[in-house]
Amino acid sequence: MDLHEQLKDIKTQFRLAMNGAVSQSMREKGLVYKLNFGVELPRIKQIAARYEKNHDLAQALWKEDIRECKILAALLQPVETFYPEIADIWVESIRNIEIAELTSMNLFCHLPYAPAKSLQWMADEREYFQVCGFLTAARLLMQKGDLDERAENELLDQSVAAFLSGSYHVRNAAAAVIRRFMQHSEEHAFRMCRRVEQMKDSASADEQLLYSLVKEEAGEIG
């Protein structure tokens, strides 16, 4: 089966699994796609399992402005041929939080250059570059838990700054990093508490919100 036939076959499977109610619900929640079949994630993973990882197929799927194709692309893309410049191109085309979350989880966090790339994306001024940077870092913290001291300091600096000044999605992604960092160990939780302790009585609502987040997470750990 050539590439064109594979794409046609995959789209047919998506149409057969179409769920209009899910698609409508997503639109109401602001998840807008050119085409959205409303196929549930477990079903998309079942379809992915029928194919071997394939660079050309994944790249072709990503170029389709279809929700399910983009999700499947991240599942079928081999990490060995997903070079850093391609990663940047993919992030540049991300337009909503669902694709950012799923691509970070299914592909970005598995890349050999993920730690450096996530920090680079965090420092970018574009919203979804920042979102993918923080979401990928949060996944890396789940996988490994520890970083070298310099990387940890940079990660925390970026996360705090983004939480205090970022957009809604950037703030949530940065909060995920802060939580994952604190959950790793009591030492990490203590470091984060020390970092925000002066924000307790701050005149800034954002700083008080960050203080509350850290305090709540520290309480759950304790």
Instruction: Please name the residue ranges forming H helices in 49-148.
Output: 55-63, 67-76, 84-92, 97-106, 114-122, 127-143
Q: Which residues fall within 8 angstroms of residue 147, CB to CB, at 6 or more apart?
A: 115, 141, 155
Residue spans of the domains in the chain: they are: 1-81, 84-222
Using one digit for the tens of pLDDT, what is the confidence trace for 156-182? 999 999 999 989 999 999 999 999 999
Answering whether pTM is above 0.85, one says yes
Distance CA 75, CA 85 (A): 19
The DSSP element (H or E) to which 28 belongs, if any, is helix 20-28
Residue 11 pLDDT grade (very low, low, confident, very high; cuts 50, 70, 90): very high
Contact 27, 36 (CB under 8 A): yes
* DSSP, residue by residue, 160-181: HHHHHHS-HHHHHHHHHHHHHH
The DSSP element (H or E) to which 153 belongs, if any, is helix 149-165
Using one digit for the tens of pLDDT, what is the confidence trace for 53-76? 999 999 999 999 999 999 999 999
